[in-house]
Amino acid sequence: MSAHRQSPVTRSARPEPAGPPPVDALAFRPVQMLLRIARQSRLGDPEGCAAILTLLATGRVVRAHLQHVLGQLGLNEIKFSTLITLYALDPDPSTPAELALQSRVSRAAMSDTLEALRGGGWVDRERSTSDRRTLHIRLTARGRDLIETAVRPFLAAVGRCAEALTAAERRSLTRTCGHLTALFQAPPVPA
């Protein structure tokens, strides 16, 4: 008899895929596997796991769609976020550190992003007159035009996503996301 550890998951034969990949978030194979593990091993509440895993899988699908919309405009999420932040501050400048914080990326990633935006003529940078170590980043007229153009298809795509939900579902989703965000933004509880 072999001394193999028994897996908490009962494996079944893989069904042959039929047609295009499933759209239902719970139909994604990794999600199905995780739910099966949760049910069989009692490592988590299956209903709770299903809700969070569905949210994650759906978020990936929606994000990929929105990234495609931005890609058609020659933008990615970081560039778009940076331009939106500068647009909101316009005509006041920002610093690379502030932009990195707002876009939730590293300073190195923001530095690369600003170089690309500067290369496109969408932002200007200048040294602070009071502290030569500080760079001020401003939106150019070309950058302003780009963001004013990009916002329309981006918000239209977001609106199409929202149309799939009733008003009550939108409010519930907003509340749910708020609860989850607060959970992970709260300071850790000391042990």
Domain total of the chain: 2
Q: Which domain holds residue 63?
A: 26-72
CATH code at position 138 = 1.10.10.10
**Segment 1-22, tens digit of pLDDT:** 444 444 444 434 444 433 334 4
Q: Mind giving me the DSSP string for the chain? A: ---PPPPSS---PPPPP-SSPP-SGGGSHHHHHHHHHHHHH-SS-HHHHHHHHHHHHHHHHHHHHHHHHHHHTT--HHHHHHHHHHHHHTTS-B-HHHHHHHHT--HHHHHHHHHHHHHTTSEEEEE-SS-TT-EEEEE-HHHHHHHHHHHHHHHHHHHHHHTTS-HHHHHHHHHHHHHHHHHHHSPPPP-
Does residue 175 lie within any of the structural domains?
A: no
**Domain presence at residue 92:** yes
- pLDDT tens string 99-123: 998 888 999 999 999 999 999 999 9
Q: Does pTM surpass 0.75?
A: no
